[in-house]
Structure formats: C-alpha cells, structure tokens
C-alpha cells in the first residue's frame, strides 16, 4: 500500500507509514453532519473501546475541511481523529470517488467504504458501498478473526 499523509483533527498529520504497528481502520464517508455519516460516526464511537482492545486505530476520512471535522468531532464526542481530504488525493488512492444519483441528478461523491490495514501496512480487508446498519459490527468481527 502506497504511503500517504493528510491533515487531521487535533492539529496533527496522518501518515500511513508513520503509524504505530497495529491495525488501522480507515472509513471513508461522504459529508460531516449528514444523517448516515452521523450515525456511522456514532457507531464507531460507541464501539471504540472494542477496537482499542483489538489493537486497532480508527480514522474517518471525508473531503470536508479541518474546521468542519473539528466541529463534527466535538459535536459527537468522537474519540478518534478525522482526516481531511479536500483535494481528493486519498479518496482517489483508495478509489472511492464515484458517480452517484442524488435526487435524480448525477453527482460525483465519496462512496461509503471501509479499509483495514494490518500492522505491516498491508490492506487486508475492504468494504465498498457500505450500508451503515451493522457495518461496525462486521468490521469488529473481521478484526476478531485475525490471528
């Protein structure tokens, strides 16, 4: 997996190759403060201790600004950082930019997707076109199945 770095909340920079030797969950979502994205963030928040117990870090990524991310993180009390990708560099690397139908119009946007990267930086699992309900449970079950 190619290294990348991107700004994130907490006035920090995420670096794929600079992270601790542990699992990393990167979940891509369309937009802060929208119903599905809020539910997904809260689901990751509510199960965060289970991810930590599995030696796993969680990061949300969207095209929103850092300011929007900081407000979203504070509003929901998220214990993990959000990565800002306004130029779509990370979204493009993970191939999550798709044409979608929005109220009958074709729009280009982020396809809700989740990726698990192991301690060696290898992509070990991906979900695309994610439906929010039960998704966090699926991710946890996958991580629990890892040696």
**CA 65, CA 81: separation in Å to the nearest integer?**
13
Is 37 among the residues known to form the active site? yes
Closest CA to 16 of 117, 128, 142, 85: 117
Per DSSP, 42 falls in state H
Output the CA–CA distances (angstroms, integers) from residue 118 to 23, 31, 68, 70, in the order listed: 5, 26, 29, 27
Closest CA to 102 of 29, 27, 30: 30
**CA 53, CA 2: separation in Å to the nearest integer?**
27
Reduced to 3 states, what is the DSSP secondary structure of residue 134? coil
Find the helix or strand (DSSP H, E) in which 20 lies.
Answer: none
**CA 1, CA 19: separation in Å to the nearest integer?**
13
Of the candidates 26, 37, 58, 110, the residue annotated as catalytic is 37
Catalytic residue IDs = 37
């Amino acid at each position: 997996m190619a290294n990348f770095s991107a700004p994130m909340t907490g006035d920090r920079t995420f670096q794929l190759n600079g992270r601790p030797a542990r699992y990393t969950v990167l979940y891509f979502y369309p937009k802060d403060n929208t119903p599905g994205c809020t539910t997904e963030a809260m689901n990751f928040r509510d199960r965060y201790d289970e991810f930590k117990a599995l030696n796993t870090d969680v990061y949300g990524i969207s095209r929103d600004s850092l300011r929007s991310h900081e407000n979203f993180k504070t509003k929901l009390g998220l214990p993990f950082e959000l990565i800002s990708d306004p130029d779509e560099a990370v979204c493009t690397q993970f191939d999550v930019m798709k044409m979608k139908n929005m109220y009958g119009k074709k729009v280009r946007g982020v396809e809700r997707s989740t990726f698990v990267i192991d301690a060696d930086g290898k992509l070990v699992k991906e979900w695309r076109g994610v439906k929010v309900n039960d998704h966090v449970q699926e991710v946890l079950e996958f991580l629990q199945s890892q040696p």
